[in-house]
Chain A
Amino acid sequence: MSYEAVIGIETHVELQTASKMFCGCPTDFGAEPNTNVCPVCLGLPGALPVPNERAIEWTVALGIALGCEISQHSVFHRKNYFYADLPKNYQISQFDLPLCVGGHLEVDPGSGVRRVGITRVHLEEDTGKSTHLGGGGRIHDAEGALIDFNRSGIPLLEVVTEPDIRSPEEARAYAQELRAIVLALGISDARLEEGSLRFDANVSLRPEGADELGIKVEVKNMNSLRSLQRALAFEIERQTALLDKGEAIDQETRHWDEEAGRTEPGRSKEESSDYRYFPEPDLVPIQTNPEAVERIRGALPELPALRRARHIALGVEPAAAATMASAGLAAMFDDAVSAGADPRAAANWVTGEITAHLNRTGDDPSDLVMDGRGLAELVGMIGGGELSSTAAKEVLIGVLAGEGSPREVAAAKDLMQISDESAIVSEVDAVIETHPDEVARMKDGDERLAGFLVGQVMKATGGRADPRLVDRLIRERVGL
């Protein structure tokens, strides 16, 4: 039988505020274990939480970007469950009164635009991090666990979609678009490998054309766009096989094992459904006033969808526009264009060599030493005949290595094209003199020999002569 997948995604986004959600501890990644801690985020007796105002503003900003309604009255709840890396054994989260409700996001997986409903966006706190000892990493084989509370209390946004997603490709496109928005808003570094963005998905299958939903499986632990897509593809295949055999789907939580390439049943947490939510009595309600929401709306940067449309209007290929947006390179492109670069050429460099450089080094766009002005300079030098495109690639490598501006690097490496006629004339004359046969055949009409002669001059000048100029000079000399 043919089935339709019904997928909903919950995304956790770690915000890049300077301090934690409910205390003043720093949020920097990679600090020494248990150093970014205080009575509040360690759950010491007597400590009390106080919410970070910026985290609330950023949640509202994302809500606006996703077309949500911003709740005028919102409340934090306690979500009660025992876990060794959850210091208070309850998480301060939101329940029936989240900050943002009911938005949507348009995504294009390549097969046309789809609208994914956003159920809610709410704010909560992250847990500490446990490392399991011994036993090959499997939780239940471990001899114990070590806990670091540095991550405890980092603000965490949760974005929940409606079950509107129908394929792993759509899921990926959704995640990619959400990530682009988060980056554009500057509210998270969105580094997947550091867990700044984490995905859980609910997946069920139903016969094609059916209305009612099938039994839902929750898939956790997907930390990249690729693993999200792979995990969902695996899960759909697994459930299809079970249904085809006439077997029932268990309503359960499964974990994606990236290495094995499959989902595995999670630990059975029978009481997990009873979180005993109740209003957090240590906090008072959040009341957003319409003026504050409008102020945040007015300060929003250009969102990826609009930016892409604007770039396409500048002549950039849609695929390149999408790549720039999702890779966080759109701002560099815009800077280059406003510094005078040709949009198409700039986009080619951004999505080509610069993206390749980032992939190679694993760097973040913010790590790049070259800015949009530098890119404009490079593109301008090529357009103005000062650099060949081959030489330009070498110049770019130097610029990205911090050796200077494109012009400085090109000069230092002696890569500037020779466009001065008088400097090339003697080389042209020498080549004509040493190749009388080729010159004669060219005069007889064999055009291809022009290319050969140009090549000889280029060789003699170490590749630095402007080939268009050489070609013209040879044709003049030969008398064509």
Chain B
Amino acid sequence: MPIDIDITKVARLARIGLTAEELAHYEEQLQVILEHAARVQALPTEGVAPTAHPLPMVNAFRPDEVEQTLDREEVLSQAPDREGPYFRVPPFLDE
């Protein structure tokens, strides 16, 4: 059963700017992998609770206490573009 994949939408959601050729290539590969993965649907799982976590733990919190912050220069030294104390990015959107 071929699986319905809107690869253009998926790539846009993932913010990866692929060419049409690349999209077609990945779509083909995803088909193969997903057909294999779709086997999970064959397993009767009625009444089975999903596992998000291997260890049954709850309530891991931290107290509301202030801790050491990073040095701004050390942080900004890694930025691809900065302006003074800020990170700089291109404009947000063309409609």
* Interface, chain A (partner B; CB < 8 A): 17-19, 23-26, 32-39, 42, 50-56, 75, 80, 82, 84, 89, 130-133, 135, 139-149, 267-268, 271, 274, 276, 279, 281, 283-287
Chain B residues with CB under 8 Å of A82's CB are 15
Q: How many residues of B contact A (CB 8 A)?
A: 37
Given A19-B67, A284-B60, 4 further pairs, Cβ under 8 A: A19-B64, A25-B67, A55-B64, A285-B58
A-B pairs under 8 A by CB, number: 131
Which of A51, A130, A145 is in CB contact (< 8 Å) with B62?
Answer: A51
Q: Flag whether B25 is at the interface (Cβ < 8 A).
A: no
Q: Chain B residues with Cβ under 8 A from A144's Cβ?
A: 88-91
Secondary structure class of chain B's binding surface, majority of residues: loop
Contact with A along B51-73 (1 / 0, CB 8 A): 01101011111111111111010
B30-85 CB contacts (< 8 Å) to partner A: 52-53, 55, 57-70, 72, 75-76, 83-85
Q: Is the CB of A53 within 8 A of B61?
A: yes
CB-CB < 8 A to A80: which residues of B?
Answer: 13
A33–B67 CB distance below 8 A? no
B residues in contact with A130, CB < 8 Å: 89, 92
Taking a contact as CB atoms closer than 8 A, the residue among B55, B61, B69 that contacts A37 in the complex is B69
**Residues from chain B with Cβ under 8 Å of A53 in the complex:** 61-64
Which residues of B are in contact with A by a Cβ distance under 8 Å? 9, 12-13, 15, 52-53, 55, 57-70, 72, 75-76, 83-95
Residue of B at shortest CB range from A150? Answer: B69
The reply to whether A276 and B88 contact each other, CB–CB distance below 8 Å, is no
Structural contact, B93 and A139, CB atoms closer than 8 A: yes
B95 touches A24 (CB 8 A): no
Contact flag A24-B58 (CB < 8 Å), given A139-B92, A139-B93, A279-B52: no
Assembled-state Cα–Cα distance A162/B89 (Å):
38
Contacts of A17 in B (CB 8 A): 64
Also in contact, A18 and B52, with CB within 8 A (given A34-B76, A37-B75, A268-B95) = no
List the B side residues contacting A51 at CB < 8 Å. 60-62
Cα–Cα, bound, A147→B60 (Å): 31
Residue of A nearest to B91 (CB): A142
Which of B52, B66, B94 is the one whose CB lies under 8 Å from A19? Answer: B66
Contact (A24, B67) CB under 8 Å given A56-B61, A271-B12 = yes
Q: Are B60 and A18 in contact (CB under 8 A)?
A: no
Task: Give the docked Cα–Cα distance between A297 and B29 (Å).
Answer: 55
Complex interface: chain B residues within 8 A of A54 (CB): 63-64
- Cβ-closest chain B residue relative to A87: B87
Determine how close the nearest CB of chain B comes to the CB of A70; give it in whole angstroms: 14
Pair A140/B67 contact, Cβ less than 8 Å: no
**Cα A56 to Cα B58 with chains together (Å):** 14
* CB atoms of A146 and B87 under 8 A apart: yes
In the bound complex, do residue B85 and residue A32 qualify as a contact, i.e. CB atoms below 8 Å apart?
A: yes
Residue of B nearest to A82 (CB): B15
| Residue pair B88, A145 in contact (C-beta under 8 Å) | yes
CA distance A149 to B90 in the complex (A): 17
A127 CB → nearest B CB, Å: 13
Residue from A131, A268, A281 within 8 A of B53 (CB atoms):
A281
Task: Report how far A148 CA is from B13 CA in the complex, Å.
Answer: 25
26 A-B pairs with C-beta separation under 8 A: A19-B67, A23-B67, A24-B68, A26-B66, A32-B72, A33-B84, A34-B72, A35-B69, A35-B72, A37-B69, A37-B70, A39-B70, A42-B75, A50-B62, A54-B64, A133-B91, A139-B91, A140-B94, A144-B88, A144-B89, A145-B88, A146-B83, A271-B9, A281-B53, A284-B53, A286-B59
Distance from A332 Cβ to chain B, minimum over Cβ atoms (Å): 27
Q: Which residues does chain A contribute within 8 Å of B57, judged by CB atoms?
A: 284
Residues of chain A contacted by B13 (CB below 8 angstroms)? 80, 271, 274, 276
Contact A38/B94 with A33-B85, A276-B13 known, Cβ cut-off 8 Å: no
